[in-house]
C-alpha cells in the first residue's frame, strides 16, 4: 500500500523546538511574563505553554503542580523550589506542557522583564497573540 506516513517525532522533539523558540523570543516572553505579573501577580499560578491541541498560554495553579509532583513521586520538587523563589522583576519562569511531559522554561533575559515590557510597548493581549501565532508556526507537536 502506497502512502505518505507522517514521521514519528522523538519524545523530546517538542522540547528542542520550545528551547529554540524561547531563545529566539526571549524579549517577548520576558515582556509577556512581566505584563501578566502586573495583571495577576502569582494569584493565577505559574504561566504555562500548553502545546496541545495547538500551542497556547495557560496558568498552572500551584496546587495542580503540587498534586502532579505527588503523583510522580516528587520528581518535580526542583521545579517547585524554583517557583517558590521566582523573582519576576529579574527572571522568566514558564512551564512547557506536552504530551505526558513538562519542561521548565527559566532564564534571566539580557534586559530585565519590566524593561522588555516597556521597550516593546505592547499590551498583554498583543503579546499573547504574537507569541501564540509564532508558536503555532514554529512548533510541531505530535499529538
Structural domain for 93, as ranges: 21-138
Q: How many CB atoms lie within 10 A of CB 68?
A: 15
Residue-wise pLDDT tens digits, 81-137: 999 999 999 999 999 998 888 899 999 999 999 999 999 999 999 999 999 999 999
Q: Quick check: is 67 in a domain?
A: yes
Q: How far is CA 28 from the centre of its chain?
A: 12
Give a three-class secondary structure readout of 19-73: HHHHHHCHHHHHHHHHHHHHHHCCCCCEEEEECCCCCEEEEECHHHHHHHHHHCC
Q: Quick check: is 43 in a domain?
A: yes
Distance CA 21, CA 25 (A): 6
Q: Is the pLDDT of residue 142 over 80?
A: no
Q: Quick check: is 110 in a domain?
A: yes
Please measure the distance between the N-terminal and C-terminal CA atoms of the chain and give it in whole angstroms: 24
Note the pLDDT of residue 133: 96
The confidence band for 138, taking pLDDT boundaries of 50, 70 and 90, is confident
Note the pLDDT of residue 33: 97
Considering the chain, what is the average pLDDT of its residues?
89
Average of pLDDT values for 30-50?
95
Structural domains counted in the chain: 1
Average of pLDDT values for 10-33?
89
Pairing of strands 92-98, 46-50: parallel
Amino acid at each position: 500500500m502506497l502512502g505518505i506516513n507522517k514521521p514519528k517525532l522523538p519524545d523530546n522533539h517538542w522540547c528542542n523546538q520550545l528551547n529554540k523558540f524561547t531563545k529566539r523570543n526571549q524579549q517577548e516572553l520576558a515582556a509577556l511574563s512581566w505584563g501578566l505579573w502586573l495583571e495577576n501577580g502569582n494569584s493565577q499560578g505559574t504561566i504555562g505553554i500548553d502545546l496541545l491541541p495547538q500551542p497556547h498560554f495557560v496558568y498552572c495553579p500551584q496546587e495542580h503542580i503540587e498534586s502532579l509532583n505527588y503523583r510522580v513521586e516528587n520528581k518535580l520538587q526542583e521545579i517547585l523550589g524554583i517557583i517558590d523563589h521566582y523573582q519576576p522583576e529579574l527572571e522568566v519562569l514558564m512551564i512547557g506542557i506536552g504530551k505526558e511531559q513538562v519542561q521548565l522554561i527559566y532564564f534571566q533575559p539580557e534586559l530585565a522583564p519590566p524593561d522588555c515590557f516597556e521597550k516593546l510597548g505592547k499590551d498583554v493581549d498583543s503579546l499573547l497573540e504574537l507569541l501564540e501565532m509564532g508558536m503555532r508556526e514554529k512548533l510541531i507537536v505530535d499529538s
